[in-house]
Amino acid sequence: MAQIRPFRSDDVDGLYDVCVKTADVGKDATGVLEDDRLWGDLFAVPYALRDPGLSWVVEAEDGRVIGYIVATDDTNAFATWFRDEWWPGRRGLYRASGEAEPTAQDRFLAYGDRQAPGDDPIVREHPAHLHIDLLPETQGQGLGRRLIDILLAELGRRGVPALHLGMNADNLSAGAFYERLGFTKLASADGSTTYGIRIPSA
């Protein structure tokens, strides 16, 4: 039986593995980018290393990490840290193509390059955000719901009023999952869907 436990420093490779294996709208994105670890360096590992107290993993019976939830309680503070401390030390590991037509890796490098604090109304109202990824073998066990509940409880204890998340608009099953948990759709850009939820104070 899989179990949920707090993130540990030796889980980092597991985060990279789960992140790439779920990055293509929940499916394996191995080989989509020139460097598979770029997924984790953008969407998983920095969150867990910056605030382990908002990071949990799903551990299989054999000890593998097969899912996780990571988050920040302050999106703008995270963006500042990512820009100033995390990304400068990671950016040089990844090569831009130099092609006139950007590759998928070029587009994700540009995403990392433009991370910065801002004055987004969604962030003002929903300062926390999360990333959650689960391998197919975890499905049907209620683990996603339990991870969200654990995170919301900790954010409530910290006095965070609301949380948001962004996802690929094509991921209809994920959208249905969030709506079942009480998330509502917020203003969204083309090709993406943003959900938010208010958090009761602990």
User: CATH no. for residue 39?
Assistant: 3.40.630.30
Cβ contacts of 181 within 8 Å, gap of 6 or more: 145, 148, 197
User: Cα 12 to chain center, whole Å?
Assistant: 14
CA distances 164 to 71, 143, 171, 202, Å, are 10, 19, 16, 19
Count of helix runs (H) and strand runs (E) in the chain: 9, 7
Which pTM does this prediction carry?
A: 0.95
Number of domains, the chain? 1
Cα–Cα distance, 113 to 109 (Å, whole number): 6
Q: Which residues contact 4 (CB under 8 A, 6 or more apart)?
A: 56, 57, 58, 59, 143, 146, 147, 150
pLDDT of residue 140: 84
Residues in the chain with pLDDT < 70?
202
Q: What pLDDT is attached to residue 173?
A: 86
What pLDDT shows up at residue 31? 97
Residue 80, domain extent: 3-198
Residue holding tokens 């083309």? 190
